[in-house]
Amino acid sequence: MNLLHLSNVQRTYNANSSHPVYALKNISFDVNPGEYIAIMGESGAGKSTLLNIIATLEKATAGEVLLNSQNLNKLTPDEAAKYRREHLGFIFQHFNLLDTLSNRDNIYLPLVLAKVPVAEMDKRIKPLASALGINKIIDRYPTEISGGQQQRIAIARALITQPDLLLADEPTGALDSNTSKEILNLFDTVNHNGQTIIMVTHSAAAASHAKRTLFIKDGKIYHELFRGNESLKDYQEQISNTMMTLTNGGE
């Protein structure tokens, strides 16, 4: 069964004004458990709107969004907050760690909010810290570590709740190319271990790590590419070429 199902999703801003914005016009796609999907498109294409709808931060104006068969459009604000805590992990471009908390406490924060016992938190952090290479920095503070290390802490924070779906918004946007590669390799490992990922990115290099890339143009799905058995390099070139065609108005 699909993990996520979107059918005919639309999002209109300022619907009753003289200048309505049709941010999403008709988006339909399914995500199976274990998939790794990149979403690309030019600035203003509707990527963040789409991610926000899947994240229950915004509601679709029309259409259906189901996660594990639950209709996200029907959630009250309290139910949406609970749904986010229980089912989603978030990774942001600027890490969004709290500087006043140690790295460990940043990672524990979603479990604290969910009232998980400390013994369970300690148990969950061990394999994650080893897999993410953060054992040595875990008791420092976010201001005392590099950007790439901060993103590793943020990944741990997103994964410690064992989410059904990991949503990443430009996760390498604030990192240099070598650090980006390290983070993307970590995403590969996390996905290889079964984690479903949806990542919005402007970077063809980042998207080439995903198994499938959806290209959004003017609020619609313009094209879709599957990595298959292609090398990262060849697939990245294919993604860049598709973006170039899309930007130049090609069909």
Ligand X SMILES: Nc1ncnc2c1ncn2[C@@H]1O[C@H](COP(=O)(O)OP(=O)(O)OP(=O)(O)O)[C@@H](O)[C@H]1O
- The footprint of ligand X (CB under 6 A) covers 13-14, 21, 23, 41, 43-49
Pick 25 or 181: Cβ nearer ligand X: 25
**14/2 Cα distance (integer angstroms):** 32
Per-residue DSSP letter, 118: H
Q: Rounded to the nearest whole angstrom, what is the least distance from the CB of residue 60 to ligand X in the complex?
A: 13
**138/232 Cα distance (integer angstroms):** 32
Pick 6 or 45: Cβ nearer ligand X: 45
Backbone angles phi, psi at 173, to 5 degrees: -65, -25
Residue in the structure block whose two tokens are 């979107």: 6
Edge-to-edge order in the sheet of strand 212-217: 70-71, 62-67, 4-13, 21-31, 220-226, 212-217, 36-40, 196-200, 165-169, 88-91
Pick 13 or 83: Cβ nearer ligand X: 13
Pick 41 or 148: Cβ nearer ligand X: 41
Q: Rounded to the nearest whole angstrom, what is the least distance from the CB of residue 57 to ligand X in the complex?
A: 11
Q: Rounded to the nearest whole angstrom, what is the least distance from the CB of residue 50 to ligand X in the complex?
A: 7
Per-residue DSSP letter, 250: -
Pick 13 or 141: Cβ nearer ligand X: 13
Q: Rounded to the nearest whole angstrom, what is the least distance from the CB of residue 182 to ligand X in the complex?
A: 24
Pick 140 or 220: Cβ nearer ligand X: 220
Backbone angles phi, psi at 27, to 5 degrees: -110, 125
Q: Rounded to the nearest whole angstrom, what is the least distance from the CB of residue 22 to ligand X in the complex?
A: 8
Q: Rounded to the nearest whole angstrom, what is the least distance from the CB of residue 46 to ligand X in the complex?
A: 4
Q: Residues of 63-96 as b/e, b for ≥16 C-beta within 10 angstroms?
A: bebbbeeeebeebeeeebeebbeebbbbbbbebe
